[in-house]
Structure 1
């Protein structure tokens, strides 16, 4: 083996080991597998399907190249992950980038009825402004309590998508099965979807599937971190141009 081939093999081996370290190669039991995920499965261990690490990297690289292109164009990504294992890292990465996110509950119409959602955001911000200015003090205590409860609910639902001033260029999703409504809305608006999806999901439903463990926090953090790095790499080229 010449030096060039040896170097390439070492790179591949390091990447595979990295996937193993974060547990990204673990799927579900064979009985839960979606038929279209068969191409990504290498085998079964203790009744758990194991993903083919090289195929994971092939898909992952394509997805990262796309996210880099979004950053290069100066586009915005909507980060979506509502499961407990993903909600924290989704919020952290999105806030670091100044991007919108959904980490608790997808509101129907977020993409397909964006005008109404924006009106709700404006209404929520207006209530907050009135509370800060003391304008709510003119209401009875019972009315103030009702308004405060409404502000709390709107904050939970809308604070993540507040930066969404227009439709995003892409969605980044943890668990395509869990976020099916978000993905459906993205398709209706011709928005590309990058998704980490386990063996029970249909890869044909997303533009850039990343087969892998979408339950383990280490796997989710690893994929999300790499996605952020790819976006920032592209954004740096956008800024320099």
Structure 2
């Protein structure tokens, strides 16, 4: 993974924390200093934590599992959803439904219902048979479901890990992941509790540029993990083909030896 430079972090405002009166004392190890009543994060710690998080995420993705992106704050929604879609990973950027992880089977039923409504609305014969009010209500239900569940329609089982922007805002998602033993990677500002997550990344979780920089770094790690997984599959397939060829050659050699032995006896 390409290491981020300090200048990139500074330009994106990753080092800016909250007002000192709003801080969480558990973030003290990640704070460099106080300036004009604002805490400044230690970028050395940010880079170290980000590197550790990216290596762990790469390993998870390489094993063929999914990372769920969670970011419902306005300034994070666009960049997070775009990156998740690019990587074909599940994401939640509108609203976190309580029980999205702990009551996953019920959520799957809602996704199935959304798919059923979508099929009905695409069927011209069925649509014409519906009253205008019914058609309108179905369309509204579908739009509402797509906003909330659109990012997880392809998720058939629980994700292997969560990447979260703003631990305080997404506290329900963090609590559900903790309950299920799902590791959490999260951007933690100076008002957050880093002890709640497995891989805290000390960073400004309010500025768009800061969120984008960290999210793209995580996305790069996922992309590398996917490429390594593809390479592993190609290597395994090549090894299987070579083994099959070797066995075929051995079998052919045995048959040739049998034929030769037969002619020797006849002579």
Interval of TM-score (by shorter of Structure 1 and Structure 2): over 0.9
Q: Whole-Å Cα distance in 2 between the matches of residues 17 and 149 of structure 1?
A: 46
Q: Whole-Å Cα distance in 2 between the matches of residues 137 and 110 of structure 1?
A: 35
Aligned to 1:164: 155
1:203 aligns with 2:197: no
Shift of 1:231: 1.2
**Aligned partner of 2:228 among 220, 230, 237:** 237
**Aligned partner of 2:67 among 70, 77, 82:** 77
Correspondences of 1:215-230 after superposition (within 5 Å): 215-230=206-221
**Aligned partner of 1:153 among 144, 153, 157:** 144
**Which structure shows the bigger proportion of residues in helix conformation?**
2
Q: Is the 8 A contact 2:87 2:222 kept in 1?
A: no
> C-alpha deviations, 1:148-171, integer Å up to 9, x for none?
211111111111111211111110
Structure 2 unmatched ranges of 5 or more: 233-267
Q: Whole-Å Cα distance in 2 between the matches of residues 142 and 17 of structure 1?
A: 57
When normalised by structure 2's length, the TM-score is: 0.83
- Describe the SS at the equivalent of 1:24: coil
Aligned to 1:6: none
> C-alpha deviations, 1:132-187, integer Å up to 9, x for none?
01213222212222212111111111111112111111100000111100111111
Q: Whole-Å Cα distance in 1 between the matches of residues 172 and 132 of structure 2?
A: 39
Correspondences of 1:83-102 after superposition (within 5 Å): 83-102=73-92
Larger radius of gyration: 2
Structure 1 unmatched ranges of 5 or more: 1-10
